[in-house]
A and B are shown apart, each in its own frame.
Chain A
Amino acid sequence: GAVVSQHPSWVICKSGTSVKIECRSLDFQATTMFWYRQFPKQSLMLMATSNEGSKATYEQGVEKDKFLINHASLTLSTLTVTSAHPEDSSFYICSARGSSGRNHGELFFGEGSRLTVL
């Protein structure tokens, strides 16, 4: 299947700092990428939908100024957690939807990024 690379896989930061997480589709183009948050033993919570070349669409209750999303190319979307606080500690996962060819319409996930804010 197609590969989605997410980096970093884990990060520890101090409260008040900003953290950037990258999501790359390695062998296919993705006009749409999704960002999720997952707490231990719970399901995926969709945070926002990232569309290449346009502003992201955020789910209700997700602060757009807190979680900055940029989707500057067909293979890269970034999530920046600004002024992180301990309550932002979580597992963040991205997914990319294939936009053409044999991967068209299918959804592939990154490996996830574990953020710990001290």
Chain B
Amino acid sequence: QKEVEQDPGPLSVPEGAIVSLNCTYSNSAFQYFMWYRQYSRKGPELLMYTYSSGNKEDGRFTAQVDKSSKYISLFIRDSQPSDSATYLCAMRDGQNFVFGPGTRLSVLP
């Protein structure tokens, strides 16, 4: 079993839809959870950074962490074509970062 699992997609949604992106993990030592957005031919950009379980909201983005289920989610409300990118989840325990493979999202106008 991989340390971090993420559905690679591609995921296509119409503009305005609510998008749900998810990752599961196996290492219970992970304490910090991140979501990165990567546009084609660009480096990843940090979107959300959360510590431990709970929700964190930033504009149209909501990050959710359920440590008991080892499951994290990123919700995008009112999705826009400019949200089309690859979304990578990442997590760390202390010093080590582990990335999911990324989900390719296309928001169709």
A61 to chain B, nearest CB (A): 17
Point out the residues of chain B lying under 8 angstroms from A4, CB to CB: 43
Residue of A43, A93, A111 touching B101 (CB-CB under 8 A): A43
Residue of A1, A42, A110 touching B43 (CB-CB under 8 A): A110
Point out the residues of chain A lying under 8 angstroms from B99, CB to CB: 43-44
Taking CB as reference atom, which chain A residue is nearest B90?
A107
CB atoms of B104 and A111 under 8 A apart? no
B49 to chain A, nearest CB (A): 6
Let me know if B76 is at the binding interface, CB within 8 A.
Answer: no
- The CA-CA distance from A34 to B101 in the complex, in Å, is 17
Given contacts A105-B32, A109-B36, A112-B41, contact A41 B104 (CB under 8 A): yes
Q: How many residues of B contact A (CB 8 A)?
A: 20
Let me know if B45 is at the binding interface, CB within 8 A.
Answer: yes
A65 to chain B, nearest CB (A): 25
Taking CB as reference atom, which chain B residue is nearest A113?
B43
Given contacts A6-B43, A109-B44, A112-B42, contact A43 B34 (CB under 8 A): no
- The CA-CA distance from A117 to B34 in the complex, in Å, is 34
- The CA-CA distance from A47 to B100 in the complex, in Å, is 16
CB within 8 Å of B: which A41-80 residues:
41-44
- The 12 sampled A-B contact pairs (Cβ below 8 Å) are A1-B45, A43-B102, A44-B44, A95-B43, A105-B92, A107-B34, A107-B97, A108-B46, A109-B44, A109-B46, A112-B41, A112-B43
**10 interchain residue pairs of minimum CB distance:** A109-B43, A43-B101, A112-B43, A109-B44, A111-B43, A43-B102, A93-B43, A110-B43, A44-B99, A111-B42
Q: Assuming A109-B43, A112-B43, what are 5 further A-B pairs, CB within 8 angstroms?
A: A1-B46, A32-B95, A107-B97, A108-B46, A111-B43
